[in-house]
Amino acid sequence: MLIAKFTQYLQYQKRYAHNTIIAYRKDLEQFQFFFNQQYEVDVNAVSGIQSVQLNHLRSWLAHLAVTNVQAKSIARKLSAVKRYFKYLQQQNYIVQNITTKLSAPKFSTKLPEFINAQQMDLLFQQVGFSKDFEGKRDQLIIELLYLTGMRRAELMILKITDVNMETGNLHITGKGNKQRLVPLHPNSLPFIKSYLNTLTATFSNLNHPYLLCTNKGEKLYPKFVYNTVKKYLSLITTLKKKSPHVLRHTFATHMMNNGADLNAIKMLLGHASLASTQVYTHNSIKKLQDIYQKAHPKS
């Protein structure tokens, strides 16, 4: 009951992304299962949640640790439970939010992998794309992900009307239905126009408004975008990960290395917090260290 109300709150009032809500629900259902098994307490009911004590919560965290759940996953699960308790207190289901006394385990932050600029230049200038619809569509997928830093989910719902050819801006709908404008590179506009002409010539009766589609004229789906990106990145890099998100990391890292302001990158990526963007400063610092080691007179 309470978990359902909480997820509805996230969906309709906080307007969280669908995948985020699913993750919250899954973590809370696992939390509920633990309390049912260990203490015969239903944290989905008012009487049950009111009986939860701090030592119960600590035993739950200990259980996650001894069952080899990674520290990053424990931190995420704790964040979901803390948000749940905060909501319950706001709605007067509980008097005190005891989760404020809990701390998440520390975990090392893995720096995002990215592709260097020379490899990306190689892809666009020498590898090449075919001139038919499929080739132009694939090129546009790679270009939009790399030149704007957008997420795969954002790319899939781009509409033709989201491209403003006059202003050179792209209208992106991000997480939580948040809207942002991202400028397109001037060199991209003639290619987008060419793609749209080919799209119209290839599919005369499209039944959807989306900018990009499959070879059958249907809306893109996650695996299609992933496979397309992997196909082309495999030609230029040996990175283990060759996902659309690698192109997002590549965009942000190249922007940072070229002197872009951190707040500007935050806005372009659609990050809610600057903390999410700051990870890219580490890659820039690493680049400076490499340059220093190579260029210093005593190196």
- Catalytic positions are 151, 175, 245, 248, 271, 280
CB-neighbour burial class of residue 64 (10 A; exposed 0-12, middle 13-18, buried 19+)? buried
Residue 199: other Cβ atoms inside 10 A: 19
Q: How far apart are CA 213 and CA 295, in angstroms?
A: 48
Residue 164 pairs with which residues in a beta bridge? 169
Cα first-last separation, the chain: 65
Q: Among residues 191, 192, 186, which one has the least CA distance to residue 158? A: 192
Largest CA distance in the chain: 71
Distance in angstroms (rounded) separating the CA atoms of residues 123 and 119: 6
> Rounded to whole angstroms, how far apart are CA atoms 254 and 118?
11
3-class DSSP state of 171:
strand
Q: Which residue, among 92, 83, 79, 73, has the nearest Cα to 6 in the 3D structure?
A: 83
**Residue 155: partners with Cβ closer than 8 Å, 6 or more residues away:** 141, 144, 145, 212, 220, 225, 244
